[in-house]
Structure 1
Amino acid sequence: MFSSYDGLCTIGELAERAGVSVKTVRFYSDRGLLPEASRSAGGHRRYAPDAVERLSLIRSLRGLDLPVAEVRRILDEQDGRDGRGEQGAGGAAGGSGALEDAVAGRLRVLGSELRALRWREAALRLVQDCPSAERPARLRLVGAVAAPPSTAALARFWRAWLPARMPARSVRAFLEVAVPDPPEDPGPAQVLAFARLYALVTGPCTASGPCQPSAHRAAGARESAVLYAGLAKAYELAGGELRRGEGPRPGEALDGFVDAYASTYRTRDTPGFRRQLAGQLAADPRIDRYWELTAEVLGAPGGRPEPTPGTAHDWLLEALDADLSTMSH
């Protein structure tokens, strides 16, 4: 209790009891977070004893960097519970749905900010450690990428590259595999690889760059779904071979790869079809650079890169060539 006859205190007394400035108390009062109990005859603010505890809660919430609007929602929820005769201020805040939502939201923001800081640090080290003559170009390259980086441009690239009538579910499944998630704590080399990947997918389609294969332009919805579902299984099997260090060879992975194309073209898997397929795939536009950079983005610094659809595709093409070579002897 305060020492005044009515148990109330002035703004100065409240500030002194709470260990804050009068300006701070006035700030929260003016924003409706710290209600006044009354005004004196001279118009001075008067506060009830529970204002000390409420002000302490406000300061704690603001100390977590919660915005004033979020603090108001938490206090309003607490006031609603107190009005129904439920638990008091300290305990109520602990079980507050508004508090939980605010803290979860702030954690998401902080997580994004921390990722951005880690990417900026790695980018700065990348620029710092490169030869001075290369710095302007490298600055332009990494400066074009937001921090933390977005994968939206990569997804747009694939949506334009994949068959136009490919079912949305098949597109989503492919994007989950083809679009790399940037690492949370990247090294400079991974930042450079992602920046180069971003430049690749946002650049124009040229004779030497990645353009949509002619087979994609002719494929209908059903054919596209069959092709990419079959390729996904074949790439998974080939990825297992790559992890075990196996060289390209005929087997289940290659059979699934060829069958994906045979089913799409509604034909049988024959030696003649395999020769035709090998020639067609060799003539199709390739995006090897995309997969090389993806492996660099995903690979831990100094570690062995994980297989990608691109490295699996190359393994399968070499397996197909090896198989055809065996047939010709």
Structure 2
Amino acid sequence: MSTSHELLWSIGELAERAGATVKTVRFYSDQDLLPEAARSSGGHRRYGPQALERLRLIRSLRTLDLSLPEIRRILEDEDEDEDAAGHALEDAVDSRLRQLGSELKALRWREAALQLVRDCPPAHRAGRLRLLGTLNTPPSTAPLARFWRTWLPPRMPRRATEAFLEVAVPQPPDEPHPSQALAFAQLHAMTTAPCPGSRQPQPEVHRVAGAGGAALLYAGLVEAFELAAPHLRRARDPYPGEALDAYVAAYASAYRTRDTPDFRRLLDARLSTDPRLDRYWELTAVVLTPPGSRPQPTPGSADEWLRTALQRDNAGAA
């Protein structure tokens, strides 16, 4: 408590010195965030300089849009340990920055969606609105991941599945161009549409490889795609080399055989009859590539490059 010679202020005087309203001071006092130095004989609150500093700090924290519980934790830690107070403030600011980043991303996606509706021909607006209306903002990749989980062999090890999903599912850009927003909406529509027979058609190798063989297959394919990506970025024509060897080796492991000229010819024939997801990869490339930039490699474009390299290798061997 204060001694008699200390300077004390009424709630109105404290509000005036802080440039706040009496209502604001009373609110923070009722929340036990402002220390009272004393009470008058009539029971009215009296505040000292510490309350003024505390009120200024609270108002500064509120301008950062920190919540009342966060402010309380910062003040409580400050009272107990000055170092801890710095950690509490850092945690609160980091949390708010993450939240603001998510809010800004959502706003940019809404802006791109509005531009798509504004700029499309009037006859197409109803369809575009329906397409965009299925997306959250910012959009979720969960429907795309579910799509791939139905494509991949059942009971494939979780680690192998997650590794493939990481390269197969495009992340929505933070600042999408309208064309990227449209492509992602089309991807969402494609991957959530009902499949004939309730399941995506499967490549023949899934049946042969089983869950364990499929894990080896997709781990090998991811490696092959990474090796092919630099060639795609440089727009090099497909040709036999390390990337193709890794690609063929992945299939050879799934088929439990060796990489031989005969197997390469057989693999080319089998791949030509497999179901393809060309539209998925075309849309993925748009999502990943800002307008005016060179298209980013995708597993689909890498697979196409490697298949062509395989065909050329077989033709050269013949």
Instruction: Name the residue aligned to 2:224.
Output: 234
Between the aligned partners of 2:291 and 2:68, the Cα distance in structure 1 is: 42
**1:122 is aligned to 2:133:** no
8 A contact 2:240–2:309 mirrored in 1: yes
Between the aligned partners of 1:218 and 1:275, the Cα distance in structure 2 is: 18
- Name the SS for the 2:196 alignment partner: coil
**1:70 is aligned to 2:70:** yes
**1:193 is aligned to 2:183:** yes
- Structure 1, unmatched stretches of 5+, are 82-86
Corresponding residue pairs, total: 315
Q: CA deviation at 1:25?
A: 0.4
Q: CA deviation at 1:228?
A: 1.3
CA 1:5–1:251: 2 relative to 1, 3 Å = closer
- Name the SS for the 1:110 alignment partner: helix
Q: CA deviation at 1:116?
A: 0.9
Instruction: Name the residue aligned to 1:274.
Output: 264
Give the aligned CA root-mean-square deviation in angstroms.
2.1
**1:247 is aligned to 2:242:** no
8 A contact 1:210–1:286 mirrored in 2: no
Instruction: Name the residue aligned to 1:293.
Output: 283
8 A contact 1:14–1:47 mirrored in 2: yes
8 A contact 1:210–1:287 mirrored in 2: no
- Structure 2, unmatched stretches of 5+, are none
Between the aligned partners of 2:65 and 2:140, the Cα distance in structure 1 is: 26
Between the aligned partners of 1:211 and 1:188, the Cα distance in structure 2 is: 32
Could you tell me which of 158, 178, 181 is aligned with 1:168?
158
Deviates more, 1:212-221 or 1:38-47: 212-221
- Name the SS for the 1:9 alignment partner: coil
- Post-superposition Cα deviations, 1:146-193, rounded to whole Å, max 9, x if no partner, equal 111221222222222112232222222212211112111110000001
Instruction: Name the residue aligned to 2:8.
Output: 8
TM-score calculated relative to the size of structure 1:
0.89
**1:264 is aligned to 2:254:** yes
Deviates more, 1:282-291 or 1:244-253: 244-253
8 A contact 1:120–1:147 mirrored in 2: yes
Instruction: Name the residue aligned to 1:100.
Output: 90
Q: CA deviation at 1:210?
A: 4.8
Q: CA deviation at 1:121?
A: 0.8
Between the aligned partners of 1:222 and 1:43, the Cα distance in structure 2 is: 77
Between the aligned partners of 1:320 and 1:279, the Cα distance in structure 2 is: 11
8 A contact 2:151–2:201 mirrored in 1: yes
Instruction: Name the residue aligned to 1:157.
Output: 147
Instruction: Name the residue aligned to 2:136.
Output: 146
Deviates more, 1:197-206 or 1:307-316: 197-206
**1:18 is aligned to 2:18:** yes
Q: CA deviation at 1:6?
A: 5.2
Alignment of 1:217-228 (within 5 A): 217-228=207-218
User: Residue 76 of structure 1 aligns to which amino acid in structure 2?
Assistant: E
